Structure 1
Amino acid sequence: MRLSIRYKIILPFTVLLVFVGVIGTGVATAQLTSAAAAEFDAKLLHSSLQANQLLSQADADRMADLRRATDTVGVAEALASSDTAALARLLTPIAANVPAASIQLRVLDVHGQELLRIRGSGDSPGPINVSDAGVFRGQPAVISVLAGANAGERAAFLSDQPAQPVLYWVGAVRTTGDRIIGAVLLGESVTEVAAGIPGSTFYDLSGLRLATTLSAAPVASEA
């Protein structure tokens, strides 16, 4: 069948128009997708930086609280003589002034044995019963601090109690002669740490979720 001159002129333009339309739609879709991805990446980066800043601030605050406990005048002498009454008198005000509601302050001797435990939250902060005095003796961070490793730098570690995970900061207590005679631990529940970082979820190294502020937190393999 022979096409008229009219169709011979119109048909190529029709094909070209369809081709341009398809290509144009694809390009526009790609540009929109790219713009949406860029916006998502920017928001994700902002959230990540904000969360990192809040976590760094929380760490700095607890380190400052720990420093006040280890460096308070009289603490080293009281610890050297295992005077728990004097330790309680000196350290209870420090624990009470920590804003975190779930704070606990623990005092260990040079062998890692817990001598005193102080609850800083509630209406009546003060010493509480020490149920398991040797629970931190095998903790690597505690052993390292008591041994004076890394020039006696303070350290942080996560407790291995899944029922109520607690983040601890630990620092050595030294005599005026710079001899380590024990350590102080400052603990705050991971749930409370997470509460101070909107949109955060905390996992342990195995991927177990420890705490979250999200209504539907992803599992670690999907994060």
Structure 2
Amino acid sequence: MSERKLYLYGASGHGKVVTEIAESLGLSIGGFVDANPVIRELLEYPVSTDLPLGEQVLFISIGNNRIRKKLVSELVNEQFATLIHPDAIVSRRSIIGNGTVIMGGAALNADVKIGTHCIINTNASVDHDCQLDDFVHISPNVALAGDVSVGEGTHIGIGACVIQGVRIGKWCTVGAGAVIIGDVPDGATVVGNPGRIIKTNE
């Protein structure tokens, strides 16, 4: 039986980084799928607007959390890869969901639980007992102290810090460099040091 090829859904800058992780893991990449018909090639791999027929493994290489969730709801019969960069530090006691990527230099400590289709970006630190729900994006150089929880779809911006025990709700946005010292409700946008809520989505 031939090896199932990996197809990356999203031919963008994020897709480039994910591709190089897949290459470093020795995976066989069939190409990209992207809705933009103008893009025909990325990193010397072909780009198509449609998934190929037959069996394959997918990875949604799109940074936008809502788009990832929408695509997953549409691709109900597909198998999704989980990609962990060889230079990431991942505790053997952590749990990582399908479709998630852990990028180079990231560190996940003991009893961390990461949901499905999450992004743990370059050099992010996720300490013991943190729990991240599905479709969360943790940007480069984010630091989550121990026992932090992050709700579905939340995006934590580059360089943000969250102190221990904080609860961040669903579909929040934490601004770049923010310092979060208290709980954040669902749908809130938080910026600054200390973090302050500037708006809340309904």
Higher RCO (CA 8 Å, separation ≥ 6 residues) = 1
Q: TM-score w.r.t. structure 1 length?
A: 0.23
Higher normalized strand content (fraction of residues)? 2
Asked which structure has the greater CA Rg, the reply is 1
